[in-house]
Amino acid sequence: LYHVLRGDGAARTEPPDGADSGFPLLKVAILLLLGYVLLRCRHAVRQRFLPVSSRLVGHSAFSPRHLSEPGLGILLESYYEHEVRLSPHVLGHSKAHVSRIVGELVRAGRIRGSPGPISGGSLALAFRGDCFVCALKAPPSPSGTSGGHWLRNCKPFADSFCVDVHGQRHLSATLVLRWFQSHLQRSLATVRYKLEECCRVSLTPGGLEQPPTLHILPCRTDYGCCRLSMAVRLIPAVHLGDCVFLVAPPPPPSPVGPLSELPGGLRSEALWGVNTARQEQKLLGWLQERAAPGACYLKCLQLLKALRDLGARGLDPTAATQWGHMLSSYVLKTVVLTVLLHEGTAGPGWDEAHLSECLEELVQFLKACLLGRQTLFHCVLGPGGAAAEVGPLPKVLREAAPVDLLAAFDLHTRELAAARLLSTWRRLPQLLRAYGGPRYLARCPPSWSQRTQGFPEQEP
């Protein structure tokens, strides 16, 4: 800076002390003063050409009494754009990336096979749509006998994959899940080196709370488009027909061990979950065709999930896990579908201008379901289900009893969850300012550093 102010192109020998020491400092002071004057003039010119109303707002902004806070609708839109929304471009590339990696994994499983317990047959993986299907291949049955009779009497298969219930052999979800996980690990070891060129892949074993999860991390040297860190849950399924699957849920936590018996002599190992994702997708498409242009029910569903995640902040791990199980993504999706079916179609009241009102309607309905004032039935299997809109269902599902999705939770726990939900909704503006969106929306972020042990009893 010294040589620039003196106008020299290169360093020179320092002059004797006192020769010319004050002149550069004077130049620096003059330059700083000139910069300050220019900034003040620029500010004065901008204020001169602003409207009178804007100038008044600008002057009153320094007064805390006249500080205008953004409304809930603005906060929801900002939080959705910055924290929730995923662009279709990124989503499409991510799906293609996952399909490629999972396809490599499945092909390795098909080629490698597995030393299954069936003599002359093999256990292999098949990739169908967005699901892993656990295909149990059996050798050709002798003439005059059915394949089902052979499977029921095949001792190696029954010992490896079935459990006894009332003297009959039933396919065990726990044993199938255990085999599925080990087969995935062997298949991943086969293709791990090949996949290192585009990503890093690891497999988290399933436990009491979640199925096996495939973690996909981008490589540091990969400069491709839209490489995101993703987690893909891998769940074995048995195809029933008509796009309905039985899925193997993770073993439920039980204080008496995995071989506990349920009422009626049932064993938890023999229970399978019903997956009707294809029917629900058809139902959502049927509603979308009849919805008004610009309907925001999908955005409401995403914001409802964000509300659940914000409500879990501050809870201890046990309470947060219970909160997530009770307000699972499937429960929230069923809430949205139930409200839309009850109202017929997404009418003009579901447009973007009424986003906060629509979200409040969903919260109030969910609160009523938690308190027992409403029953949250399965949207396909419940009474008056949408079977006519989603197409044919297998006979066993058409004749199934109504399914209450919240029946597994006791009333006290549901009341505490309803109180937590209502409290989170009332504090939603403060939570949105504190945890998401641009920083200019966070006027005075609340202090919420205390961890709440369990569901707070004192909340309304």
Report the C-alpha gap between 322 and 325 in whole angstroms: 5
Long-range contacts at 46-49 (CB < 8 A, ≥ 24 apart) = none
Domains in the chain, number: 2
Q: Which amino acid appears at position 140 of this protein?
A: P
pLDDT in tens, the chain (460 residues): 556 556 655 545 555 555 555 567 788 888 888 888 888 888 777 666 555 444 444 444 444 444 566 788 888 888 888 888 878 888 887 888 888 888 888 888 776 654 444 443 344 444 443 444 444 444 444 444 455 555 555 777 777 788 888 778 888 888 888 888 888 888 888 888 888 877 888 888 876 567 888 888 887 665 556 667 888 888 888 887 777 788 887 555 444 444 445 656 677 778 888 888 888 888 888 888 887 787 888 899 999 999 999 999 888 988 998 999 899 998 999 999 888 888 766 566 788 888 899 999 999 999 999 999 999 988 887 656 665 566 667 777 777 788 889 998 999 999 999 999 999 999 998 888 887 655 444 444 444 433 443 444 444 4
Same domain, residue pair 178 and 188:
yes
Same domain, residue pair 365 and 457:
yes
Within-domain flag for 53: no
Same domain, residue pair 352 and 299:
yes
Report the C-alpha gap between 250 and 182 in whole angstroms: 15
Sign of CA dihedral 256, 259, 262, 265: negative
Largest CA distance in the chain: 117
- Tell me, what's the pLDDT at 117? 46
- Tell me, what's the pLDDT at 229? 80
Same domain, residue pair 233 and 314:
no
Pick from 219, 143, 135: nearest CA to 179: 135
Same domain, residue pair 115 and 178:
yes
Sign of CA dihedral 314, 316, 321, 323: negative
Residue positions counted in the chain: 460
Report the C-alpha gap between 171 and 178 in whole angstroms: 13
- Give the pairing of strands 162-165 and 131-137: unpaired
Pair of tokens at residue 208? 């009491």
Same domain, residue pair 287 and 389:
yes
Within-domain flag for 118: yes
Give the 3-state DSSP-derived string for the chain, with helices as H, strands as E and coil as C: CHHHHHCCCCCCCCCCCCCCCCHHHHHHHHHHHHHHHHHHHHHHHHHHHCCHHHHHHHHHCCCHHHCCCCCHHHHHHHHHHHHHCCCHHHHHHHHHHHHHHHHHHHHHHHHHCCCCCCCCCEEEEEEECCEEEEEEECCCCCCCCCHHHHHHHCHHHHHHHEEEECCEEEECHHHHHHHHHHHHHHHHHHHHHHHCCCEEEEEECCCCCCCCEEEEEECCCCCCCCCCCEEEECCCEEEEECCEEEECCCCCCCCCCCCCECCCCCEHHHCCEEECHHHHHHHHHHHHHHCCCCECHHHHHHHHHHHHHHHCCCECHHHHHHHHHHCCHHHHHHHHHHHHHHCCCCCHHHEHHHHHHHHHHHHHHHHHHHCCCCCCECCCCCCCCCHHHHCCCCHHHHCCCCCECCCCCCHHHHHHHHHHHHHHHHCHHHHHHHHCCCHHHCCCCCCCCCCECCCCCCCC
Query: What CATH number does the domain containing 256 carry?
Result: 3.30.460
Domain final residue pick, 223, 256, 275: 275
- Tell me, what's the pLDDT at 3? 61
CB 305 within 8 A of CB 323: no
- Residue 203 sits at φ, ψ, to 5 deg, of -120, 125
Domain final residue pick, 275, 297, 320: 275
Angle between helix 329-342 and helix 297-311 axes, rounded to 10 deg: 140
Same domain, residue pair 240 and 306:
no
Q: In Å, how far are 38, 46, 271, 374, 386 from 55, measured between CA atoms?
A: 21, 10, 68, 52, 57
Within-domain flag for 40: no
Same domain, residue pair 261 and 333:
no
Within-domain flag for 20: no
Residue 294 belongs to domain spanning: 276-460
Report the C-alpha gap between 35 and 31 in whole angstroms: 6
Within-domain flag for 25: no
Pair of tokens at residue 206? 């399933």
Same domain, residue pair 220 and 319:
no
Within-domain flag for 255: yes
Apex CA 449: angle with CA 360 and CA 63, to 5°?
A: 70
Domain final residue pick, 216, 244, 275: 275
Within-domain flag for 70: no
Same domain, residue pair 268 and 296:
no
How much is the pTM?
Answer: 0.70
Same domain, residue pair 95 and 128:
yes
Same domain, residue pair 307 and 246:
no
| Residue 413: CA count within 13 A, CB half-sphere | 15
Within-domain flag for 35: no
Q: Which amino acid appears at position 73 of this protein?
A: G
- Tell me, what's the pLDDT at 113? 55
- Tell me, what's the pLDDT at 445? 42
CB 272 within 8 A of CB 249: yes
